[in-house]
Amino acid sequence: MDNFVDERDYKLLEQDKYTFFVLRRIMGGECKILLTDHERLIMCFTGLPYPVWIWTPDGVTETDMERAYRIAGENGLLDGEHRFNVKYELAEYFMKRALEDGKGLEIQTNMFAYDNLAPVEPAGKCDGKLHQCVESDVNELVEMMDLFHHDIDADYESLETYRKSALDGIEKGLFFFWQDENGRNVACCVYRPTGEMASIGYVYTREEARRKHYAENLVYRVTKIASEAGFVPMLYTDADYVASNACYEKIGYVLRGKLCTIG
């Protein structure tokens, strides 16, 4: 196994460019663990609180899965502290093998990956307008980023880390609020370009402002911005949030792939 990636790995991920979009983005940066054979297995871990990404091809063999399980164990990743983003075949194998070893792994999140080649204007109208975040918005943006993580109950980081991410995204013009008719920031989101695609993330609406179509209109407008900038917009969702997924589908998002988080 090598600890560097090259064009062979990026070519492999073209097979799963939606489900493993984040892996493509992070494996070129700083990673605590980066292992690949450039053919059948890519394992990438940036650090806690984030999951370990493991790519395997469709039709993965039991030999491949056992190898992935062994390598994860050799790198201290089967200690109960780490989660894994994997295809369902590998998830089932990891859970079975962990049980044999007296450990417990289970599916924590079922994920859908969507793209949007033709954004559809929301049928549900709302008051207010889109606002591109500026530096003076950073404190409120950090607050909403923290609320987002509490809402999904995952991937918590420090407020200082959120601030650094917020300032970087603001400088690049990637963070947006939806402001209601009173000028209050009621929802937020970001888009992050990588290659020809851009992921929509940090979609969060304040509790008291929900069910008023703010997020739907915000995501539509940001999707349009990403699309008009030449990117293919995509996003991940929790497959079990039926209402949220229906909202995205109404504005043109199409299901392209499925994977899961186990831990």
CA dihedral over 136, 142, 143, 147, signed as positive or negative: positive
| pLDDT value for 231 | 97
From first to last of the 263 residues of the chain, give the pLDDT tens digit.
999 999 999 999 999 999 999 999 999 899 999 999 999 999 999 999 999 999 999 999 999 999 999 999 999 999 999 999 999 999 999 999 999 999 999 999 999 999 999 999 999 889 999 999 999 999 999 999 999 999 888 888 899 999 999 999 999 999 999 999 999 999 999 999 988 999 999 999 999 999 999 999 999 999 999 999 999 999 999 998 888 899 999 999 999 999 999 99
157 in the Ramachandran plot: left (φ > 0), alpha (ψ -120 to 50) or beta? beta
Strand partners, 132: 176
pLDDT in tens, 61-96: 999 999 999 999 999 999 999 999 999 999 999 999
Domains of the chain: 7-105 (no CATH), 115-256 (3.40.630.30)
Q: How far apart are CA 18 and CA 24, in angstroms?
A: 10
CA 149 to chain centre: 12
Average pLDDT, the chain: 95
What is the strand order of the sheet 175-179 is part of? 33-36, 42-45, 52-55, 84-86, 254-262, 107-115, 232-238, 197-205, 185-194, 175-179, 129-132
**Which amino acid is present at 108?**
Q
